[in-house]
């Protein structure tokens, strides 16, 4: 049989042009490309427009044939998961070329939790989903294609595992584990599904479960051994078993020299031992090696970016963060870290944009929320010429005062009355491992500043002023680690108390060490060593810590003053909101006691409480109180002192918070 070559070529060209005209060019479906938009209706006539889903973090388009059970398999699995995990944000659109009648029967029989749309306008052709079914397209932010799968059976299994990885990237560990279990139940030999489950348990902080999963995997003689031991390396590192982690990492390197993730773990551990050059070498190897899951590879680029940012190489760091996000668009750590580099350069517009991008994917992320507020405050300050002029002038004066070594305190004639309680946080020095997320120190000081100011009990020096002063004095984090420098800075800011310390990023979690230092006496009234519960809400953790700081201030520095007016049922005290008085504050009126002479010694006796007073109205310089009980009538010039109780309670008072004493 003789073939006409020209004829065959002509036919192939016609077919090729027809495919392109129908939207069947395979390059169109590559990850990273924009998905073709469309509008379709379901069987009830409701319209679904893909352009309206642009801001949604993830949507799954599932093209299938109602007459084919294998075509429906993955769809049924997704529906079961959607029904089981209502809050998992699992959005699926089923799309079919089947008839309206068959579609209605399918919906009636299966009652899916997501819409089934009738393709009457060639959408299946746009997605190359006519000939091979099922075809599944996972779309990410801005309707970018993340993953594209065609075919059932093994391909459906691969699709579900990839979806589990995507859910893990979004910190939705519960559904990630459920998908993994679903796949493993059908195919106990699926190593990737088991691996995802192990890392989901690790992200939850369930180290025992993670260790068991990876230990079981490592019993496999092939790829399972590599994946299992790689996971065990991460588990041992998080448990603080450093030697065991490094030894297991070496086993993985020998068995699978192209695996990337063990180098990330080794880099983190070496960094915590202050072996910076060796850590950098490991991070570089991690980004160069090819074998890794997407969530592992993105961490490698992020950590190398963090390393460069620590050296002040911000542009290089941003390039690495971008590569991390290209690999994993849900990796908010890299996006937020990129914002930090802009903030450190004073480019607050770009910093705010990065934090907003982070919040689009994770609206409840505390770190991005606080950093975005800080960036917005700095932008507002730049636009407020009068406020900026005030701070610039004050910064110049404070800097001169810092350099001149003048005395910071004037001698007070009245040594009893409390002056305003001013606290200044000096940036915390971060030590230990290279944290995956930058900005924790800024978040800590900003959040505590806002909450303590809101209590009304004390004033915290505004962060914008401190940062401008540090910039003027050219003081960095390493300078502020010196207690003398921090103390001197606190005095310049007229702060009675400074809060300074360190944040230790350990394999087992984050330890915060905070010292409150009295700038007048250099005494340390309180030291906090706070182990942050990384599985708890950061907001709640910081709120708890705020209460402990507030309690320490109240206990160590109770308000003291005088009665300047005393009547039968009401008194006026020479303390007001400027000194930290809030509604509900209780005072004891005191009566001085004569000292006792005994065997040649004069023994001082503590003042005797003669009345209890509760504040019912507060002005800036005065407060008004009602007398709860009294032993004798009160009179002008009686001393008063804040009454301490066991429990301090935060309520709703001036500036959003009230300190009450039960």
Write the CATH number for 487. Answer: 3.40.50.10070
Q: What is the pLDDT at residue 477?
A: 66
Same domain, 535 and 606: no
Task: Read off the pLDDT band of 4 (50, 70, 90).
Answer: low
* Pick from 236-245, 316-325, 411-420, 596-605: least confident: 411-420
Q: What's the total number of domains in the chain?
A: 2
Q: What is the pLDDT at residue 536?
A: 64
Residue 82 has pLDDT above 60, yes or no: yes
Same domain, 517 and 408: yes
Does the residue 358 lie in any domain? Answer: no
Closest CA to 88 of 167, 155, 186: 167
Does the residue 89 lie in any domain? Answer: no
Same domain, 403 and 545: yes
CB under 8 Å, gap of 24 or more: what pairs does 193-201 form? 193/160, 193/161, 193/164, 194/224, 194/227, 195/227, 195/231, 195/293, 196/161, 196/164, 196/165, 196/168, 198/231, 199/168, 199/231, 199/234, 199/295, 200/164, 200/168, 200/173, 200/176, 201/173, 201/177
DSSP state for residue 60 in the 8-state scheme: E
The number of beta carbons lying within 10 Å of the beta carbon of residue 600 is 5
Q: Pick from 530, 556, 582: which residue ends a domain?
A: 556
Same domain, 475 and 543: yes
Does the residue 447 lie in any domain? Answer: yes
Same domain, 486 and 530: yes
| CATH value at residue 592 | 2.40.10.170
Q: What is the pLDDT at residue 396?
A: 84
Q: What average pLDDT does range 414-421 have in this prediction?
A: 89
Q: What average pLDDT does range 509-537 have in this prediction?
A: 84
> What does 462-511 look like in DSSP terms, one character per residue?
-HHHHHHHHHHHT--HHHHTSHHHHHHHHHHTT-SEEEEEEEEEETTEEE
Does the residue 610 lie in any domain? Answer: yes
Q: What is the pLDDT at residue 604?
A: 87
Instruction: Give the tens place of pLDDT for each residue, 347-370.
Output: 999 999 999 999 999 998 999 999
Does the residue 594 lie in any domain? Answer: yes
Q: What is the pLDDT at residue 269?
A: 94
Q: What is the pLDDT at residue 507?
A: 80
- Sorted by sequence, the CB contacts under 8 Å of residue 86 that are 6+ apart come out as none
Q: What is the pLDDT at residue 520?
A: 84
Instruction: Give the tens place of pLDDT for each residue, 274-327.
Output: 999 999 999 999 999 999 998 899 999 999 999 999 999 999 999 999 999 999
Does the residue 21 lie in any domain? Answer: no
Same domain, 584 and 482: no
SS (H, E, C) 291-311: ECCHHHHHHHHHHHHHHHHHC
Same domain, 461 and 575: no
Same domain, 578 and 450: no
Same domain, 539 and 601: no
Does the residue 405 lie in any domain? Answer: yes
Q: What average pLDDT does range 629-641 have in this prediction?
A: 94
Same domain, 464 and 448: yes
Q: Is the dihedral of CA 534, 537, 540, 546 positive or negative?
A: positive
Task: Read off the pLDDT band of 485 (50, 70, 90).
Answer: confident
Instruction: Give the tens place of pLDDT for each residue, 177-208.
Output: 999 999 999 999 999 999 999 999 999 989 99
Residue 46 has pLDDT above 70, yes or no: yes
Residue 579 has pLDDT above 60, yes or no: yes
pLDDT top residue among 78 and 381: 78
Q: Pick from 541, 556, 571: which residue ends a domain?
A: 556
- Look-up: residue for tokens 């994917």? 361
Structural domain containing residue 645: 560-661
Residue 5 has pLDDT above 50, yes or no: no
Instruction: Give the tens place of pLDDT for each residue, 365-396.
Output: 999 999 999 999 889 888 888 877 888 888 88
Q: What is the pLDDT at residue 534?
A: 60
Q: What average pLDDT does range 328-333 have in this prediction?
A: 94
Most confident of 17-31, 239-253, 438-452: 239-253
Q: Pick from 556, 586, 608: which residue ends a domain?
A: 556
Same domain, 430 and 519: yes
Same domain, 549 and 565: no
Q: What is the pLDDT at residue 8?
A: 46
Contact 594, 605 (CB under 8 A): yes
Q: What is the pLDDT at residue 99?
A: 94
Q: What average pLDDT does range 545-560 have in this prediction?
A: 91
> What does 320-369 look like in DSSP terms, one character per residue?
HHHHHHHH-TT-HHHHHHHHHHHHHTT-HHHHHHHHHHHHHH-TT-HHHH
Does the residue 149 lie in any domain? Answer: no
Contact 261, 248 (CB under 8 A): no
Task: Read off the pLDDT band of 404 (50, 70, 90).
Answer: confident
Model confidence, pTM? 0.83
Q: Mean pLDDT in the chain? A: 87
Task: Read off the pLDDT band of 405 (50, 70, 90).
Answer: low
Residue 661 has pLDDT above 90, yes or no: no
Task: Read off the pLDDT band of 415 (50, 70, 90).
Answer: confident
Q: What average pLDDT does range 129-156 have in this prediction?
A: 93
pLDDT top residue among 37 and 13: 37
Residue 467 has pLDDT above 90, yes or no: no
Q: What average pLDDT does range 25-52 have in this prediction?
A: 86
**Beta-bridge mates of residue 563:** 573
Residue 3 has pLDDT above 50, yes or no: no
């Amino acid at each position: 049989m003789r073939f006409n070559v020209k004829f065959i070529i002509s036919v192939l060209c016609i077919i090729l042009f027809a495919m392109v005209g129908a939207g069947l060019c395979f390059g169109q479906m590559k990850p990273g490309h924009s998905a073709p938009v469309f509008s379709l209706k379901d069987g009830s006539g409701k319209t679904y427009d893909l352009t309206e889903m642009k801001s949604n973090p993830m949507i799954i388009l599932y093209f299938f044939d109602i007459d084919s059970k294998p075509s429906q398999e993955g769809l049924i699995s997704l529906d079961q998961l959607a029904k089981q995990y209502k809050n998992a944000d699992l959005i699926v659109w089923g799309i079919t070329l089947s008839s309206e009648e068959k579609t209605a029967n399918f919906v009636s029989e299966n009652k899916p939790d997501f819409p089934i749309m009738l393709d009457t306008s060639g959408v299946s052709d746009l997605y190359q989903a006519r000939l091979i079914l099922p075809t599944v397209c996972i779309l990410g932010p801005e309707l970018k294609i993340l993953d594209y799968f065609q075919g059932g059976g093994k391909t459906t299994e691969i699709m579900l595992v990839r979806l589990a990885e995507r859910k893990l990237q979004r910190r939705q560990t519960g559904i990630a584990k459920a998908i993994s279990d679903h796949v493993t139940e059908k195919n106990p030999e699926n190593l990737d599904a088991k691996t995802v489950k192990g890392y989901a348990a690790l992200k939850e902080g369930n180290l025992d479960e993670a260790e068991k999963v990876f230990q079981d995997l490592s019993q496999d003689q092939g790829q399972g051994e590599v994946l299992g031991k790689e996971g065990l390396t991460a588990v041992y590192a998080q448990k603080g078993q450093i030697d065991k982690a490094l030894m297991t990492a070496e086993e993985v390197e020998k068995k699978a020299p192209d695996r990337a993730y063990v180098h990330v773990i080794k880099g983190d551990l070496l960094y915590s031992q202050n072996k910076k050059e060796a850590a950098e070498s490991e991070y570089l190897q991690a980004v160069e090696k090819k074998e890794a899951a997407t969530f592992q590879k993105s961490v490698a680029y992020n950590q190398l970016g963090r390393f460069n940012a620590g050296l002040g190489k911000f542009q290089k760091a941003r390039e690495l963060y971008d590569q991390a996000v290209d690999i994993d668009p849900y990796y908010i750590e890299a996006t937020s870290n990129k914002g930090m580099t802009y903030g450190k350069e004073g480019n607050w517009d770009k910093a705010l944009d990065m934090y907003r991008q982070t919040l689009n994917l994770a609206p409840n992320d505390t770190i991005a929320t606080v950093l975005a507020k800080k960036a917005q405050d700095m932008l507002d300050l730049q636009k407020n010429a009068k406020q900026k002029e005030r701070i610039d002038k004050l910064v110049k004066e404070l800097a001169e005062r810092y350099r001149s070594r003048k005395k910071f305190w004037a001698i007070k004639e009245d040594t009893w009355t409390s002056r305003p309680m001013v606290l200044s946080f000096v940036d915390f020095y971060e030590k230990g491992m290279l944290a995956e997320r930058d900005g924790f120190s800024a978040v800590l000081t900003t959040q505590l500043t806002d909450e303590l100011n809101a209590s009304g009990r004390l004033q915290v020096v505004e962060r914008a002023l401190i940062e401008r002063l540090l910039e003027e004095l050219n003081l960095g984090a390493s300078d502020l680690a010196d207690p003398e420098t921090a103390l001197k800075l606190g005095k310049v800011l007229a702060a009675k108390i400074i809060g300074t310390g360190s944040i230790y990023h350990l394999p087992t979690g984050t330890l915060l060490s905070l010292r409150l230092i009295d700038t007048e006496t250099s005494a340390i009234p309180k030291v906090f060593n706070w182990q942050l519960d990384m599985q708890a809400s950061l907001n709640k953790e910081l709120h708890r810590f705020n209460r402990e700081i507030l309690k320490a201030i109240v206990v160590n520095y109770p308000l003291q003053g005088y009665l300047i007016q005393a009547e039968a049922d009401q008194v006026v005290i020479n303390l007001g909101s400027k000194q930290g008085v809030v509604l509900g504050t209780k005072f004891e009126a005191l009566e001085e006691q004569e000292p006792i002479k005994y065997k040649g010694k004069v023994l001082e006796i503590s003042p005797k409480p003669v009345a209890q007073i509760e504040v019912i109205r507060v002005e800036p310089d005065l407060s008004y109180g009602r007398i709860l009980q009294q032993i004798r009538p009160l009179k002008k010039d009686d001393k008063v002192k804040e009454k301490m109780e066991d429990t301090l309670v935060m309520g709703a008072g001036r500036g959003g918070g009230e300190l009450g004493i039960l």
